[in-house]
Structure 1
Amino acid sequence: MAGGRARTGRDGAPPRRGRLMRVLMTADAVGGVWTYALDLAAGLAGAGVRTTLVNLGPPPRADQVRAAQQVAGLELVDTGLPLDWTATEPAEILEVGAAIRGLARGVGASLIHLNSPALAAIGGFPAPVVGACHSCLATWWAAVKDGPMPDDFRWRTQALWQGLHACDVLVAPTRAFAEATALTYELPAPQVVWNGRTPADVAAAEREAMVFTSGRLWDEGKNLAVLDAAAARLPVPLYAAGPVEGPNGARTRLEHAQALGRLPAGRVAEWLGRAPIFASSALYEPFGLGVLEAAQAGCALVLSDIPTFRELWEGAAVFVDPYDPAAFVRAIERLLADEPARAALAEQARVRAGTYSVQAMSAGMLDVYRRLRPQLFARAGQEAAA
């Protein structure tokens, strides 16, 4: 636009015209990182940033591929390469890192966003590297288990230590997890950029007498055994959506809660639209996208009393000892019996959920990118003004 000022997005992002920034981002289709990556890529696209999304581990399912195809400017590359936490030896992680480095060169990436920061250990990347700390075995072990870590956890933790120290900048989805990461890996605390979700577009439905939970049910960190025990004493059914078997062979079995299996995002949204209460007994949760989705859908939240949930949902949820099934039963029964209190709590959660938007998450990440590549953002603005 000759003679005019450079146009920017609402977040001060680079304009959509001119030279576009390309981010190479890793992801996996196993859990919440896939959702995070697609939401972030969609938010970045609105600021003129294109994403090459490199999938590691099991291939994405058909509904996940369709969701990726709906994101403007996103190129999906499914590699079949192992995840860092399923690799069989340290050399395998370095090999995957080298493959990612080669892909970054091939697509001309302006910046590399590793949702598996262990991959940075190989070094030599052609652009600055952002390491996104979503979870790790060492902090998981500290929250879920007792005693020393087993050997296979130790070498993976060492590999992640090397990768974290090799990144140009680190981000984490909560202050609680940033502090845990800094303490565990002897680092300055990563920058906090809260995760975000766009509320599902689902028609309003009548709330039914039930409780809902979702996530990687096989993960011991989700502590589903406590909710399963509570389900035996609840006057309403407790439904659990999510896989019961993980890619690492971990498995869980429900005795009292009703397992729904893995559901597409649209079906989860429908369940959340009918459930008056969402419960999580997690011992380990660096953020908890399932909780955010429930809050956006108007569910009252009954959550384990862990630092992450306190940080995100203080004043908008009921908190319960994660080891006490009876405490979950009491909290849920009180809300089932008191509709006005339940509705008020659900509204508080819905309002709080507005803080954790895709727009805010994207703005935070663009801030990180801008500090790493200021000249590229400046050039994009100059080209748009020409």
Structure 2
Amino acid sequence: MTRLLMTADVVGGVWQYALELAAALRPLGVEAHLAVLGPALSTAQRGRAGALGIGVTETGLSLDWLARDAGEVRRTADALARLAALHGADVVQVNQPAFALADYAMPVVAVAHSCVASWWDAVEHGPLPVDLAWQAALTGDALARADVAVCPSAALADTLARLYALPRRPRVVHNGRTAVASAGALAGTVFTAGRLWDRGKDVATLDRAAAQVALPFEAAGPLVGPNGEQVACVHLHTLGMLSDGDVAGRLAARPIFVSAARYEPFGLAVLEAASAGCALVLSDISTFRELWDGAARFVGVGDDAGFALAIEALAADPVGRHEAGERARVRASRYTPAANARGMAAIYAEACAPQKRAAA
């Protein structure tokens, strides 16, 4: 049995990613232990990990993008290296690449789910401000240093290779999610979910679109981020943070699912909605085209009127909406935890191979 130490956090989708990956790795001979960074787990999250038989250590260490300086990031990386040694890990997966910057006694796989440089490139454009540039420098160094660097989409891999001038393009292993069982009927609602406070999600566009559609438009997720960033919505019916079960319950009713993201390295919420058979209306960005071309309606970034028209067209055509949802469901079947686990297990084996370590 290969022993894996994997980092996780509860700020975005990494927690669900880590849980599902850890569970799917066990039949492949990989036993994962999760090292949680940033905010503490909720009682429900601890219970979910326990029910799956997944070991968890809540480290109390800071997330890289909330760190005050490079020294804090490196100290966290050092602490993770000690934790990996304490657990007798054969391989480490850091889901925050900067934490690869330590002297680990075992191979390190750095999975980039997002980063400040690629977020800025998509959302703000232009050169990074000084207070973010040091974070990007650490991420670039870490991706180059890791035994293997991985991205959840080719779109992100290409972007990181360009932004950081990496010597090797990161490998691509698509994320996976357990499918949501749908109720069959089509709900008379529109739904979105995610970190609503994150400007990369562009909830402002959806708020404007909500004023132009007849169907109720619900939005699940936090309005205030741990960095203090927040968003105010006038027309969206904001639901706040929902449990995973509550989100799945809403998706099971097959609302029209919408994402106007300007920046999305993968989009687990979209995958979850698609697996339930929800018709998808998505922003026309490279990640969504890679994953959902032919299985979603695409609208230009920031085009609130375009989103409203696409939503109304689906609402007015139940047969077409059902067919769109089935196309999304079929496409979602490609992106499963089992497929994700097979890809990652192969990378762990490659990273642990004697010739790989000797070359590094």
- Tell whether the 8 Å contact from 1:25 to 1:53 is kept in structure 2 after alignment: yes
- Give the aligned CA root-mean-square deviation in angstroms: 1.1
2:129, 2:348 → 1: CA distance? Answer: 37
Deviations 1:336-372 (A, max 9, x none): 0011111111000000000001111000011101112
2:87, 2:181 → 1: CA distance? Answer: 34
1:374, 1:139 → 2: CA distance? Answer: 31
Q: Which residue of 2 aligns with 1:52?
A: 33
Higher-Rg member (1/2): 1
User: How many equivalent residue pairs?
Assistant: 353
- Tell whether the 8 Å contact from 1:121 to 1:164 is kept in structure 2 after alignment: no
Q: Which residue of 2 aligns with 1:367?
A: 346
TM-score by structure 1 length?
0.90
Q: Which residue of 2 aligns with 1:186?
A: 165
1:144, 1:229 → 2: CA distance? Answer: 18
Find the partner of 1:291 among 261, 267, 270. 270
The residue correspondences of 1:187-266 to structure 2 (distance < 5 A) are: 187=166, 188-201=168-181, 204=183, 206-266=185-245
Report the Cα offset of residue 70 of structure 1: 2.1
- Tell whether the 8 Å contact from 1:26 to 1:114 is kept in structure 2 after alignment: yes
Find the partner of 1:100 among 80, 100, 103. 80
Report the Cα offset of residue 71 of structure 1: 2.2
Q: Which residue of 2 aligns with 1:278?
A: 257
Q: Which residue of 2 aligns with 1:318?
A: 297
1:201, 1:294 → 2: CA distance? Answer: 10
| Structure 1 runs (4+) greater than 3 angstroms displaced | none
Q: Which residue of 1 aligns with 2:96?
A: 116
User: For 1:360, what is the secondary structure of its paired residue?
Assistant: helix
1:249, 1:80 → 2: CA distance? Answer: 19
2:154, 2:138 → 1: CA distance? Answer: 23
Is residue 149 of structure 2 the alignment partner of residue 167 of structure 1? Answer: no
Q: Which residue of 1 aligns with 2:7?
A: 26
Report the Cα offset of residue 67 of structure 1: 1.6
Find the partner of 1:85 among 56, 62, 65. 65
2:271, 2:126 → 1: CA distance? Answer: 32
- Which of 268-277 and 187-196 deviates more? 268-277
The one-letter code of the counterpart of 1:339 is P
TM-score by structure 2 length?
0.96
Report the Cα offset of residue 201 of structure 1: 4.7
Q: Percent identity?
A: 48
- Tell whether the 8 Å contact from 2:209 to 2:304 is kept in structure 1 after alignment: yes
Report the Cα offset of residue 206 of structure 1: 3.4
Structure 1: runs of 5 or more not aligned: 1-19, 376-386
Find the partner of 2:20 among 28, 33, 39. 39
Report the Cα offset of residue 205 of structure 1: 5.7
Structure 2: runs of 5 or more not aligned: 355-360
The one-letter code of the counterpart of 2:262 is L
User: For 1:340, what is the secondary structure of its paired residue?
Assistant: helix
- Tell whether the 8 Å contact from 2:74 to 2:99 is kept in structure 1 after alignment: yes
User: For 1:85, what is the secondary structure of its paired residue?
Assistant: helix
Q: Which residue of 2 aligns with 1:145?
A: 124
User: For 2:28, what is the secondary structure of its paired residue?
Assistant: coil
